[in-house]
Amino acid sequence: MPLDAPLSRRTVLKGGAVTAAALTFGGLTSEAARAAVAETARSGVFGFGVASGDPTATELLLWTRVTPTPESLPGSRRGPAVPVRWEVAADEAFTRIVRSGNVVADVSRDHTVKVVVNRLTPYTRWFYRFTCAGETSPVGRTQTAPDEPGQTHALRMAFVSCSNWTGGYFTAYRGIAARDDLDFVLHLGDYLYEYGNAPRVAGVAGSGDRYGPNALIGVRDHEPVHEMVTLEDYRIRHALYKTDPDLQRAHQQHPWIVIFDDHEITNDAYDFGAENHERDDDPATPYTEPGKPDGIKPEGDFLFRRAKAFQAYLEWMPIREPAMWQPHASKGRQFFRRFSFGDLAELSVIDTRQNRSEQVPGTVDGALNPALTDPRRHLPEPPQLDWLTKGIRTGRTAWHLVGNQTVFARVFAVPRPGTVPGSVFNTDQWDGYQADQRAVLEAMAAAERTDPVVLTGDIHSSWANDLPRDFDGYRGDGNSVGVEFVCPSVTSNGFKEAVGSAAAATATTAAFQGANPWVRYLEGIGHGFVVLDVTPERVQADFWFIRSNGDKGLAVDPRLDPQATVGYETSFATVKGSRKVSGPTAELGPRSDSPRTV
Binding residues for Fe ion, per CB under 5 A?
1, 162, 190, 492
Q: Which is nearer to Fe ion, 141 or 200 (CB)?
A: 200
Nearer to Fe ion, 161 or 516 (CB): 161
Using the minimum distance from each CB to Fe ion, give the nearer residue, 190 or 209. 190
Collect all residues with Cβ–Cβ distance below 8 Å to 2 and sequence separation of at least 6.
Answer: 425, 426, 428, 459
Contact 397, 576 (CB under 8 A): no
Total length of the chain: 598
| Largest CA-CA distance found in the chain, in angstroms, rounded | 71
Cβ distance to Fe ion smaller for residue 190 or 271: 190
Q: What is the CA radius of gyration of the chain?
A: 23
Contact predicate 552/546, CB 8 Å: yes
Least separation in angstroms between CB 343 and Fe ion: 34
Q: Tell me the C-alpha to C-alpha distance, in Å, between residue 6 and each of 1, 160, 195, 209.
A: 10, 22, 9, 5
What is the nearest approach in angstroms of Fe ion to the Cβ of residue 53? Answer: 21
CB of 5 to Fe ion, least distance (A): 9
The dihedral built from the CA positions of residue 332, 334, 335 and 336, taken in this order, carries a sign that is positive
> d(Cα 383, Cα 389) in Å, to the nearest integer?
10
Task: CB nearer to Fe ion: give 357 or 492.
Answer: 492
Q: Which of 162/502 has CB closer to Fe ion?
A: 162
* DSSP H or E run through 187: strand 184-187
Q: What share of the chain is helix, strand, coil (3-state, %, to 5)?
A: 20, 25, 55
E strands within 287-360?
324-325, 332-333, 337-341, 345-349
Q: Which is nearer to Fe ion, 1 or 258 (CB)?
A: 1
**Distances in Å between the alpha carbon of 193 and those of 38, 222, 260?**
20, 9, 11
Q: Is 35 exposed, middle or buried (0-12, 13-18, 19+ CB in 10 A)?
A: exposed
- CB distance 564 to 544 below 8 Å: no
State the minimum distance, in angstroms, from the CB of residue 458 to Fe ion: 5
Q: Whose Cβ is closer to Fe ion: residue 124's or residue 492's?
A: 492
Q: Which stretches of 416-519 are DSSP H helices?
A: 434-446, 495-499, 502-515
Rounded least distance, CB 84 to Fe ion, Å: 33
Q: Which is nearer to Fe ion, 255 or 494 (CB)?
A: 494
